[in-house]
Structure 1
Amino acid sequence: MEDTIDGRIPLHVSNKTAFVWSVEDVATLRATHHVCGVLTGTLPHASQQNVFLGLPLELLPEEVVLLVKQGIAYIVDDNASHATPTTEQLVQWNEKRRQALAKLPARSSSSLPPTLNDEALKKRLERQQKKEAQLLAKEESLVTPDQPKPPASSSKEQSYSFTIPATSDFSWYNAKTYITLDEARTSGVWSYPHTPEEVARCRVFEDLWKQGYFMGNGLRFGGHWLVYPGDPLRFHSHFVATVIPSPVMTIHPIEIIAFGRLGTATKKSHLLCGWDEEKQETSYYSIEWAGFG
């Protein structure tokens, strides 16, 4: 298991996207820090479906900024952490592998499992001979006089499989970690936020998070996030949030109408979230479609 820094959760960043690979960390983020993310990996026994997914957990960029800023997590450069092994390391690894295989007990194809006693072995052989006799009688009834009889299989020919443990004392993984966003930004691993709009989103996201809300991606509902009063597994979202990056930004009436109609159609209220960079304050306005007459 990967070593953590001061109990923080590692966020593995690849191509400007952060992932969480530990089940324990995913549970901690959800239960303790009300950060859900989205599972994006396929399940081993259901790899052809895309409804119920598994690890890794992909985080929103606002979630990454929040977790690192609050000291809950740190960033790991996933690409730089996986070093290419040298020729000498590969030779040493192969030698260790040969030594591990040499220590395994040798077994021939006709050897018997050591866990079987004489009584169990006798019963097994009797059952196998009985099945072979029945199969042979069935085959003889289907063979015509001109066709040769199939050779009888020998009950002594038995094969057993065993697992070779994957042993290796070598590790070519060396985590490149960054505790702060400035460090990650300087190295080029992470760049969010880098525009006033993205800064406003991060500030509004943090303010809603501090109020105890859960947030999820709101792209399908025409906003930036869905805002839940509790865990999304237990509650429906109450708001579709859209961030207005400046208090002097113009909002067209047609946009307000669209927000209201869309929110009502999905049984939610549309939440306009404002961020004032000068005052360092957030403001919220809820839009609901009302009937006439």
Structure 2
Amino acid sequence: MTSDPVVLLRVANQRAYVWDVDDAAILRSKHHICGILTGTLPHLSQQNVFLGVPLVLMPEEVVLLVEQGFAALVDDPEAHEAPSEDQLQQWDHQRKEFIKLHLAQTESKLSQEASSRSLSEEALRKRKEREERKALKAQIPSTDIQTPDFQAFADPSPASKTSTPIASASEVNPLTTLYPVILPAASDSFEWYNANRIYSTISSAKSAGIWSYPSTLFERARCGVFKGLWDQGYFMGGGIKFGGEYLVYPGDPLRYHSHFTATVIDSPTSALRPMEIVAHGRLGTATKKAHLLCGWDDEKQDVSYLSIEWSGFG
């Protein structure tokens, strides 16, 4: 189990989605679950390179997360309900307290800035006065034999000053001064679910009819192989482009290339043709990967691994 909050996976049409970016970050950093981003970014709807939420999870990822207690399934089409009057009042009270807290923090920060600004303005004023005195002394003719009134130059009257006075921090009108106040808000700050539509086990979700995976031997084998590799600390992604079920990464796919392409075999007695072994070996070598044949024993609930790599002999 984990100390992190349970992530709610929104299920619609037998597909699980993650709509909260914080939840997606938790799944990736804490649980080695990447998923696939499928949503377009604001103002960039015509590109397909950098995508955003929702995050779509593979069925094996969903089963693993729920069985480990990291996530729960939500019947998204039926779970949303209008909040009650008490919930609305509670939310409004929390929102106002949240705003008061951030306003107090902003006022404290502004007062500190005003204090430091007043000190810097005082130093600037003194420096300007010294520069003015030096400039006035430099205007005295060197051939003038009369004794000048240095006191007049040293202490000029306010009317003789031509510089524009600098407004102090106390002279700033708070009613006409604009201060930015940033109020961060979570994406689920106003969201309620019917508790009867949240399922913390795969069996309960199957009974409710919102989830059916795994339902066959091959699907159970995929889940077993996925969990076996996940237990060893690997990250998994879809491997259909490389002739297998999964791509196996030693770390986050944003930092590492995959080391293996994994193929799931649903039984220790399943037949495997020699040409398949040759094809997996050649394809793995061409893509700079080793190919894993992962055999699932449904009775023992165990996985065996066989690595194929093209030797190049002959």
TM-score (norm 2): 0.62
Q: Deviations over 1:237-278 (max 9, x none)?
A: 000000100000000111111111111111101100011122
Describe the SS at the equivalent of 1:48.
Answer: coil
More helix by share: 2
Aligned to 2:269: 248
The Cα shift of 1:279 comes to: 2.2
Matched, 1:228 2:255: no
Q: For the structure 1 residues 269 and 81, does the alpha-carbon distance in structure 2 shift closer, same or farther, using more than 3 Å as the test?
A: same
Aligned length: 205
Aligned to 1:277: 298
The Cα shift of 1:280 comes to: 2.2
Aligned to 2:26: 28
Q: State the distance in 1 between where 2:28 and 2:191 align.
A: 31
The Cα shift of 1:81 comes to: 1.9
Q: State the distance in 1 between where 2:283 and 2:268 align.
A: 23
Q: Deviations over 1:190-242 (max 9, x none)?
A: 00000000001101111110110000011111110000000001100000000
Higher gyration radius (CA) = 2
Q: State the distance in 1 between where 2:236 and 2:289 align.
A: 14
Matched, 1:262 2:283: yes
Describe the SS at the equivalent of 1:32.
Answer: helix
The Cα shift of 1:290 comes to: 1.5
Aligned to 1:81: 79
Amino acid at match of 1:178: Y
Aligned to 2:49: 51
Identity of aligned residues (%): 65
Q: State the distance in 1 between where 2:301 and 2:209 align.
A: 27
Equivalent residue for 1:205, pick from 199, 202, 226? 226
Describe the SS at the equivalent of 2:31.
Answer: coil
Task: Tell me which stretches of 4 or more aligned residues in structure 1 moved more than 6 Å.
Answer: none
Amino acid at match of 1:255: E
Aligned to 1:217: 238
Q: Deviations over 1:172-207 (max 9, x none)?
A: 864621011011000110000000000011011111
Q: State the distance in 1 between where 2:71 and 2:191 align.
A: 24
The Cα shift of 1:171 comes to: 7.3
Aligned to 2:10: 12
Describe the SS at the equivalent of 2:24.
Answer: helix
Q: State the distance in 1 between where 2:77 and 2:252 align.
A: 33
TM-score (norm 1): 0.67
The Cα shift of 1:83 comes to: 5.4
* Unaligned segments of structure 2, at least 5 residues: 84-189
The Cα shift of 1:7 comes to: 2.0
Q: For the structure 1 residues 253 and 81, does the alpha-carbon distance in structure 2 shift closer, same or farther, using more than 3 Å as the test?
A: same
Amino acid at match of 1:49: Q
Alignment of structure 1 residues 115-130 onto 2, 5 Å: none
Q: For the structure 1 residues 80 and 48, does the alpha-carbon distance in structure 2 shift closer, same or farther, using more than 3 Å as the test?
A: same
